[in-house]
Amino acid sequence: MQQVFKRPQSLKDVQTHFCPGCHHGTIHRLVADAMDLYGVQDRTIGVASVGCSVFLYGYFDIDVVEAPHGRAPAVATGVKRARPDSFVFTYQGDGDLAAIGTAEIIHAANRGEDITVVFVNNTTYGMTGGQMAPTTLVGQKTSTSPYGRDKSKDGSPIRMAELMAQLGGVAYSARVAVDSPKHVLEAKKVMREAFGYQAQGKGFSFVEVLSACPTNWGMNPLKANARIGEEMIPYFPLGVFKKEEA
Amino acid sequence: MSKRLFVKGNEAAAMGAVEAGCRYYFGYPITPQSDIPEYLSRELPPLNGEFIQAESEIGAINMLLGASATGARAMTSSSSPGISLKQEGISYMAGAELPGVIINISRSGPGLGGIDASQSDYFQCVKGGGHGGYHIPVLAPNSVQEMYDLTMHAFDLADLYRTPVMLLGDSVIGQMKEALIPNPRPVRELPAKGWAVRGKSGAEQRVVKSLFLGDGELEAHNWHLHAKYQVMKEKECISEEYETADARLIVAGFGSVSRIAHTAVTMARAEGMKVGLFRPVTLFPFPEQALAQAAARAGKVLVVELNTGQMVEDVRLSVGAAAQVSFYGRPPGAGSLPSPEELLEVIRKNYEETAR
């Protein structure tokens, strides 16, 4: 009998702590799949950020450095410059990357650091209990936007993948979603492509992943999943925004 | 015989870092320390090192955190307002027990303040600075030679105790030029960095972190850090004494002001006053015992600082009831650096009070 599906080698054989319907587990798997593809588990140093994903060292069987809130791209810069032979990625949420860590992500990207950034956009601060994020959609109600995000006061949600594509140091920038088998397969391809840029030493790669936070959205997993296609993708279009040729 | 150079304090610190094996520097321009990034931007690339002018002080300290996590010797430098921004990263490094050297050529404040010689950041540097109740060793050079020697020492302390270490100077120490003998780095036996991330390479996973959520984990971690501070207090105190053996009055000061006080003490001796100088070189750990002994012999300590009174608190804690403690301070600002004659007058007044 042929085995057609198994746990990636880069993931530990443990259960995650994530809420039912949360997509971190799926995204972890996609990252591990890409690491396995290039056989880099043994020389990978992951940089964990502040948020629900801080515990990634509990799930990935790799060396990990924990970064202060928003600072993962700067920490990853220090790691990669000191150990250029290592494979370095950050895994950050939208509050971490697009609010408190804006300076760090813009400048690590602009310097063209040879790292990969996985950016999980679920339009809210998950770990702190569902507050308004820089990616929260206009009109979306959160615990700190009880009347809905007001564009005139709170601004518009930031489209990070497009913004990254404008920077000279960025080799690859894309946005994917993980709300359907089709999208997950596309995301897998994109994640592999992004990690491939680093594997070949081609520079900074960025993958934004639209994902669900059913707990803080106040939805069951099915409804939360549906919201990605109905509300998020129309504002955050999927696609590859920059792909530098070798 | 080693050659003799004539260099700035800031350059001496950068040279000491290179001699200590530091090949990674991350910084941001700020007066009066910019000679350090300028020097290292020139000197590190030919040594296969890395220099990054970071997007911010916050970026720089976190690059240091990342480089240190791999086990490499790495450094950043800044001045007071920039050090404020670095406090988050310093706290994380202290929590994750990461070595690293931070040079603080401090300036005057609060706020944008000014760029004059100042000691108003004693509390910030010595009492923790960031959140979480940690300490880091703080070294206070008072010469160009010490900028070089103590920077090398800072790297050794950092690796030995797995802690960030700060070198605290000011514009007087950083900007003045003096003779420097660039002696080779002293050899000190240091532990292997079995904690450093390197890519698993088939071995056990390594994680550098400061988050401890398990029952009792964080309390145990804090007691572990506390125990390290106790060892530092026992083993790593450095101080210098001048004419204290028969002194009836001890003048205590660190860094730049200790140079002025040294001249004033010499002048007082010429007038027949039995006055000595006590200079803490390590501000954390504070040389409590050495000061307590000198103070008990003399009976009185005059603390001189370029602020309104900060180190004086540690002096009072150190000497307890064994000696009387008085204070003379000049808060920082243009024209506020005391002259030796000014300090001599203060010494006279304090000495006369002890004679009464």
What does the DSSP assignment read for B104-119? EEE-B-STT-BSS---
Name the nearest CA neighbour of A195 among A16, A6, A8. A8
Q: Note whether residue B311 is domain-resident.
A: yes
Domains in chain B, number: 2
Q: Are residues B101 and B177 in the same domain?
A: yes
Nearest CB to B199 within list A44, A47, A68: A44
Q: Tens digits of per-residue pLDDT, A69-103?
A: 999 999 999 999 999 999 999 999 999 999 999 99
Residue B20 DSSP one-character state: T
Residue that has been written with the tokens 């000011």 in this structure: B170
Q: Are residues B290 and B187 in the same domain?
A: no
B59 neighbourhood in chain A, CB within 8 Å: 71, 74, 77, 103-104, 107
B75 neighbourhood in chain A, CB within 8 Å: none
Q: Tens digits of per-residue pLDDT, A186-210?
A: 999 999 999 999 999 999 999 999 9
Residue A245 has what pLDDT? 84
Q: Note whether residue B203 is domain-resident.
A: no
Q: Are residues B163 and B149 in the same domain?
A: yes
Q: Note whether residue B89 is domain-resident.
A: yes
Please indicate if any CB of chain B lies within 8 Å of the CB of A11.
no
Q: Tally Cβ neighbours within 10 Å of residue A215.
A: 19
Q: Are residues B45 and B184 in the same domain?
A: yes
CB contact under 8 A, A81 and B63: yes
Residue B301 has what pLDDT? 98
Residues in chain B, total: 356
Q: What is the CATH number of the domain that holds B296?
A: 3.40.50.920
Those residues of chain B whose CB sits closer than 8 Å to some CB in chain A are 24, 26, 50, 52, 54-56, 58-60, 62-70, 72, 74, 88-89, 92, 96, 197-202, 205-211
Q: Burial of B259 by CB count in 10 Å (0-12 exposed, 13-18 middle, 19+ buried)?
A: middle
Please indicate if any CB of chain B lies within 8 Å of the CB of A82.
yes
CB contact under 8 A, A104 and B69: no
- Taking the CA atoms of residue B268, residue B270, residue B271 and residue B276 in that order, the dihedral angle to the nearest 10 degrees is 30
Q: Are residues B60 and B150 in the same domain?
A: yes
Nearest CB to A57 within list B50, B65, B207: B207
**What backbone torsions phi and psi does residue A234 show, to the nearest 5 degrees?**
-60, -30
Q: Tally Cβ neighbours within 10 Å of residue B177.
A: 13
ipTM score: 0.96
Q: Are residues B213 and B322 in the same domain?
A: no
Q: Note whether residue B157 is domain-resident.
A: yes
Q: Are residues B34 and B150 in the same domain?
A: yes
| Separation CA A70–CA A100 (nearest Å) | 5
Residue B1 has what pLDDT? 52
Give chain B's count of helices (H) and strands (E). 12, 15
Q: Are residues B160 and B261 in the same domain?
A: no
| Separation CA B9–CA B7 (nearest Å) | 7
A112 neighbourhood in chain B, CB within 8 Å: none
Please indicate if any CB of chain B lies within 8 Å of the CB of A61.
yes
CA A237 → CA A24, A204, A209, distances in Å? 20, 21, 11
Residue A25, pLDDT above cutoff 80: yes
| Separation CA B118–CA B169 (nearest Å) | 9
Q: Are residues B300 and B287 in the same domain?
A: yes
- Hey, what domains does chain A have and what are their CATH numbers? 24-126+158-214+221-243 (3.40.50.970)
Name the nearest CA neighbour of A180 among A136, A222, A140, A214. A222
- Cis ω on the peptide bond leading into residue B110 (within 30° of 0)? yes
Q: Which residues of chain B have pLDDT under 70?
A: 1, 355-356
Cα angle B42-B47-B48, degrees, rounded to a multiple of 5: 105
Secondary structure of A72-134 as H, E, C letters: HHHHHHHHHHHCCCCEEEEEEEHHHHHHHCHHHHHHHHHHCCCCEEEEEECCEECCCCCEECC
Q: Note whether residue B347 is domain-resident.
A: yes
Give the chain B residue whose CA is nearest to the CA of A59: B205
Q: Are residues B71 and B9 in the same domain?
A: yes
Residue B94: give the domain boundaries: 5-197+208-235
Q: Are residues B159 and B223 in the same domain?
A: yes
Q: Are residues B170 and B311 in the same domain?
A: no
Kindly report the nearest CA distance between residue B200 and chain A, in angstroms.
5
CB contact under 8 A, A64 and B200: no
Q: What is the CATH number of the domain that holds B29?
A: 3.40.50.970
